[in-house]
Structure 1
Amino acid sequence: MVSSFNRSMSGHFGRRGSSLGSPKVVGHKKSWISPSFHVLVVIGSLVSFILAIGCGYHFVFPSLSQALHGHRISKFVNSTGSCDVFKGRWVRDDGYPLYNGSGCPFLERGFNCLANGRKDRDYLRWRWKPNNCDIPRFNVQDVLERLRGKRVVFVGDSMSRTQWESLICLLMSGVEDKKSIYEVNRNKITKRIRFLGVRFSSFNFTVEYFRSVFLVQNGLGPKNGPKRVKSTLKLDKLVGISKEWIDSDVLIFNTGHWWTPGKLFEMYLQMNLNYELMMDTAKHSGYRGCYFQVGRSLKLGMSTTTAFRTAVDTWASWVETMVNTNRTRVFFRTFEPSHWSDRNRRFCKVTRNPMSVTRGRDQSPFSDIISKVVKNMTVPATVLHVTSMSAFRSDAHVGTWSDTPSVPDCSHWCLPGVPDVWNEIVFSHLLANNGLPLQ
C-alpha cells in the first residue's frame, strides 16, 4: 500500500487563547457565592485532570512526546488540515542553504556549482512550501541521534548519487569531528564506482550508494539472437547486488533517466529526428544496442514505457518477498524533470529564478507508473513524488558550472540545492511516523 503524505502539522495550527467569562449574577446579592464556588471547583478539577494527563503523557510516552514536540510534526490524519507535501510552491528563504558545500569533502566536484565558478547565489535560497502546511526544518542533531546503529541505502542512477551526497553533507554539518566521517573503502567520490559508503563513526551508522541505473539485470543477448541485439535488460530479474540492500533501515530507490533511446541504443541520428521516430528506428532498424528480455524471450517490439512498468513490477515483487518492511522503510523517488532548451540536449539555459509555470514538465509516464505500482503493493512503500516540485527549478541545474564546463548539464542539480529538500521530506516523514525511534 502507499504510505500517505496527507497529514496535519502541529505547527500549522495557531495557538488560540481561551478565557472563562465571569458567571452572570442573577437574583439577590447573597446568592452569588454558591455558583462561584461551584465554578472554582470545576476549574480546579479540570486543571488537575490536565496536569495528570500531561504527566502521564510525558513519562509513559517519552518517545512520542519527543517526536511530536521535538519535530513539530503531528500524526498524519485525514482532516481539513491535511496536507500533500508535494503540492505547493517555492518561496524565498534566506535561511537556506542548509550547509556549506565547501565544507563537505564528499560533495562531488561536478555538482558543486559555486566551486566551479557560478557567481549568483539566488538558486540556493528557495524553500519548498506545501499549500496547507510547512516542512519542518531539518534538525540535524536529532536525525544524527536517530540514525545511531542504522543503515541508509540509496539505489539508482546519478540522480540517486546526488541525493546521497546531499544527505551526507546535511548530516556532516552537525558533526564536530569531521575526521570521524570517512568513505569505508577510502574511495574518492566519482561517477564510475558501483558502491560508495560513508561511515559516521561517532554515531555508528553508514549512508551508502549502489549504482544501478535500471534496477534490473543488464547482460549479453541470447547466442542465437539477432546481431543487432548486443545486450538485453532482463526485465524479470533484479540486479545481483540487490542482496546487499536487504539489511538496511532506510532504502531509497530511483530510476528513469537511462530508460531512453539515446541510452539504450548506440544510435547516431540526424538532429531533426523526434522522439517517436527514434523509438521506431530502435525497434525496426539495424542499429545495435540494448533490447528487452523476459525469461528467454526477446521483446524486440516492446515499448520503453511497457518495459519500465515490467521492471518496476519486478522491483515491487522483490520488496514484497525479500524486504522486512517492519524494519526497513522503503521509498521510491519519481522522475526528476530536465530543463534542456532543445530536444537533442545540446543547449542548456539555466534561469536566475524558478519558473512560474512548469510547461508540462510536471508530468511523466515514468512517475505515473511508479505511483500505480506502489499503490498496488501488499507491503508499505512511499512514493517521493518530486516530479512536479522539481519542474519549476530551471535555475537549479548544473549548467556549465561543472567539472567539464564544455558539456552543458540541464539534468543534474547543483549542491546545495533541490536534492536537499527531497531529504528534508524523507526525514519529516520518518520522524512523523516514528520510523526512526531512538535506540
Structure 2
Amino acid sequence: MLHPVLVLVSVSARGLVPSFNGVVEGCDVFDGSWVRDETFPLYNSSLCPFVERGFNCLANGREDREYLQWRWKPRLCEIPRFDVRDMLQRLRGKRIVFVGDSMSRTQWESLICLLMTGVEDPKGVYEVNGNSISKTIQFLSVQFRSFNFTVEFFRSVFLVQQGLPPRNGPKRVKMTLKLDKMDFMNQRWVDSDILIFNSGHWWTPTKLFDVGCYFQVGGSLKLGMPITSAFRLALETWASWVESMVNTNRTHVFFRTFEPSHWSGLGQKTCEVTKKPTIEAEGNIRSEFTDIIAEVAAKVKFPMTVLNVTMMGAYRSDAHIGTWSHPASILDCSHWCLPGVPDSWNELVFASLFREGWR
C-alpha cells in the first residue's frame, strides 16, 4: 500500500496541508511571497560560531541589511513562528541528520544558529570531535549538551557511491557513480529522528564528465546515459534504501528540492545581487531535478515530505553571497547568506512536523 507523501509544491494539489497551530486547512505553504518583517533576522551571524565565514555576508563587508528582513508568507495561511524554547524541549534526546552537498551544510548551520538563540550557555553547544567547518569535511556533529540532542551533517553530494571504474574501461573513465549503490556512509544516517536529504548541484557535466566521472549500474558502464536519467536512477536507489533501512515510524524523512541560482548569462561568471526580493520569480525557476524528485516521491511506499524550495528561492536574488564571500575574489550567486533563505527552509521543516502531530 502506498503511504501518503506530503509534496509541498506550488503547482500541485499534492501540497495541501491540513491545519496545524492555526494554519488554514488546504493551504499550500509554497504558494506565497516574501513579506518585510522587522523582527527578522532570527539570529546574529556574528554571535553564532557555526556560521562559516564564507556565508557570513555582513562579516565579509556587505553593508545593506534589508535582505535580512524578509519572511516567507504563504498566500492562504501562516506558518508557525519559530519558538526556540519549544523546539529545544521537543528535540530532547533526538538526532537530526542532514545529508547532501554544501546547500545542506548551509541549512545545517542555519538550524544550529536558530536553536542556539535559546541556549543560556553557548559553551554547551559544540562539535563533538572538535572539527572545524570546511567545504570538504565529510562529517560534522554538534551536540546541545543541556538538551542531549545532536544536529549532524554528512557530506554526500551524489547520495550514491563514487568509486573506481570496472577494469578495462575506456581511459577517459577515471571514476564512476554506482547508481545502484548508496554512499558508503549510509549506515550512519539510519538511527535518526529527522533525516533531511538534498542532491542536484553536483549533477553537471563539469563535475562529472569533465573530471572523468561516468555512470555505472552493476558491473556495466553507462557512458551514454544522460545526467537526468542517472539522477532518477540514483533517486530510485535512495527510495529503495529508505524503504528497507529506515524506520519511518520513528524517522521523519525529508527531501529538499533544487535551489535556484541567479547567474547572468552562461558560465556562471557574472551575477547581480539585488537590494530587495524581485516581484517576479527569476533565475532557474524550473528544474528537471525538482521534477524528478517529485515524481520519484509520488511512487514511494513510505511517508516522507518533499520540501519544494525551488520557487520560493527564485524571488531572492538579493540573498545570495555575491561578492561578499571569503575569499572575496569568489563570485557566488548560488549559495545564500546567513541569516537568510535557509532559515525559512528550517521553519518549514518544523511546520511540517507540527502538521504531522509531532511531539
TM-score if structure 1 supplies the norm length? 0.78
Q: Rate the CA distance shift 1:246–1:73 in 2: closer, same or farther, 3 A.
A: farther
- Aligned counterparts of 2:223 and 2:163: Cα–Cα separation in 1: 15
Which amino acid is the alignment partner of residue 89 of structure 1? S
Among 218, 226, 246, the alignment partner of 2:162 is 218
- Aligned counterparts of 1:182 and 1:360: Cα–Cα separation in 2: 37
Residue 311 (1) aligns with residue 321 (2): no
Among 84, 106, 109, the alignment partner of 2:28 is 84
Of structures 1 and 2, the larger Rg is shown by 1
Bigger mean CA offset, 382-391 vs 424-433: 424-433
Following superposition, the deviation at residue 342 of structure 1 comes to: 2.1
Following superposition, the deviation at residue 349 of structure 1 comes to: 1.1
Following superposition, the deviation at residue 360 of structure 1 comes to: 6.1
Among 352, 375, 385, the alignment partner of 2:275 is 352
- Aligned-pair identity in percent equals 65
Deviations 1:179-222 (A, max 9, x none): 10000001111112100000000000000000000000001111
The answer to whether the 8 A contact 2:18-2:26 is kept is yes
- Aligned counterparts of 1:128 and 1:362: Cα–Cα separation in 2: 17
- Aligned counterparts of 1:109 and 1:407: Cα–Cα separation in 2: 13
Residue 170 (1) aligns with residue 114 (2): yes
Residue 292 (1) aligns with residue 302 (2): no
Residue 335 of structure 2 is matched in structure 1 by 412
The answer to whether the 8 A contact 1:216-1:311 is kept is yes
TM-score if structure 2 supplies the norm length? 0.95
Among 112, 119, 125, the alignment partner of 2:69 is 125
Following superposition, the deviation at residue 226 of structure 1 comes to: 0.4
The answer to whether the 8 A contact 1:101-1:107 is kept is yes
The answer to whether the 8 A contact 1:8-1:133 is kept is no
Deviations 1:40-63 (A, max 9, x none): xxxxxxxxxxxxxxxxxxxxxxxx
Following superposition, the deviation at residue 81 of structure 1 comes to: 4.2
Among 203, 213, 231, the alignment partner of 1:259 is 203
The answer to whether the 8 A contact 1:9-1:134 is kept is no
Instruction: Give the secondary structure class of the aligned counterpart of 1:242.
Output: helix
Which amino acid is the alignment partner of residue 171 of structure 1? L
Which amino acid is the alignment partner of residue 304 of structure 2? A
Which amino acid is the alignment partner of residue 329 of structure 1? H
- Aligned counterparts of 2:25 and 2:75: Cα–Cα separation in 1: 10
Which amino acid is the alignment partner of residue 207 of structure 1? V
Residue 67 of structure 1 is matched in structure 2 by none
Among 17, 22, 39, the alignment partner of 1:7 is 17
The answer to whether the 8 A contact 2:18-2:355 is kept is no
Residue 249 (1) aligns with residue 259 (2): no
- Aligned counterparts of 1:343 and 1:2: Cα–Cα separation in 2: 36
The answer to whether the 8 A contact 2:144-2:150 is kept is yes
Deviations 1:107-154 (A, max 9, x none): 111000001000000110111111100111101000000000000000
Deviations 1:361-418 (A, max 9, x none): 2211000000111110000011000000011110000011011111100000000000
- Aligned counterparts of 2:51 and 2:289: Cα–Cα separation in 1: 28
Q: Rate the CA distance shift 1:195–1:360 in 2: closer, same or farther, 3 A.
A: closer
Deviations 1:264-320 (A, max 9, x none): 133xxxxxxxxxxxxxxxxxxxxx610000001110110000000000000000000
Instruction: Give the secondary structure class of the aligned counterpart of 2:80.
Output: coil
Instruction: Give the secondary structure class of the aligned counterpart of 1:261.
Output: coil
Among 340, 365, 368, the alignment partner of 2:263 is 340
Q: Rate the CA distance shift 1:229–1:380 in 2: closer, same or farther, 3 A.
A: same
- Aligned counterparts of 2:317 and 2:164: Cα–Cα separation in 1: 38
The answer to whether the 8 A contact 1:81-1:132 is kept is no
Residue 319 of structure 2 is matched in structure 1 by 396
- Aligned counterparts of 2:272 and 2:282: Cα–Cα separation in 1: 15
Q: Rate the CA distance shift 1:237–1:328 in 2: closer, same or farther, 3 A.
A: same
Which amino acid is the alignment partner of residue 5 of structure 2? V
Residue 100 (1) aligns with residue 44 (2): yes
- Aligned counterparts of 1:235 and 1:185: Cα–Cα separation in 2: 31
- Aligned counterparts of 1:223 and 1:116: Cα–Cα separation in 2: 48
Following superposition, the deviation at residue 432 of structure 1 comes to: 2.7
Among 122, 131, 147, the alignment partner of 1:187 is 131
The answer to whether the 8 A contact 2:127-2:143 is kept is yes
Residue 12 of structure 2 is matched in structure 1 by none
Residue 68 of structure 1 is matched in structure 2 by none
- Aligned counterparts of 1:198 and 1:189: Cα–Cα separation in 2: 11
Instruction: Give the secondary structure class of the aligned counterpart of 1:3.
Output: strand
Instruction: Give the secondary structure class of the aligned counterpart of 2:279.
Output: coil
- Aligned counterparts of 1:298 and 1:94: Cα–Cα separation in 2: 54
- Aligned counterparts of 2:212 and 2:262: Cα–Cα separation in 1: 26
- Aligned counterparts of 2:120 and 2:203: Cα–Cα separation in 1: 41
- Aligned counterparts of 1:108 and 1:351: Cα–Cα separation in 2: 23
Instruction: Give the secondary structure class of the aligned counterpart of 2:179.
Output: strand
- Aligned counterparts of 1:152 and 1:371: Cα–Cα separation in 2: 23
Aligned-CA RMSD value: 1.3
Alignment length (residue pairs): 349
Alignment of 1:223-242 (within 5 A): 223-242=167-186
Following superposition, the deviation at residue 357 of structure 1 comes to: 1.6
Q: Which has the higher helix share?
A: 1
Residue 58 of structure 2 is matched in structure 1 by 114
Residue 10 of structure 2 is matched in structure 1 by none
Following superposition, the deviation at residue 348 of structure 1 comes to: 2.0
Instruction: Give the secondary structure class of the aligned counterpart of 2:163.
Output: strand
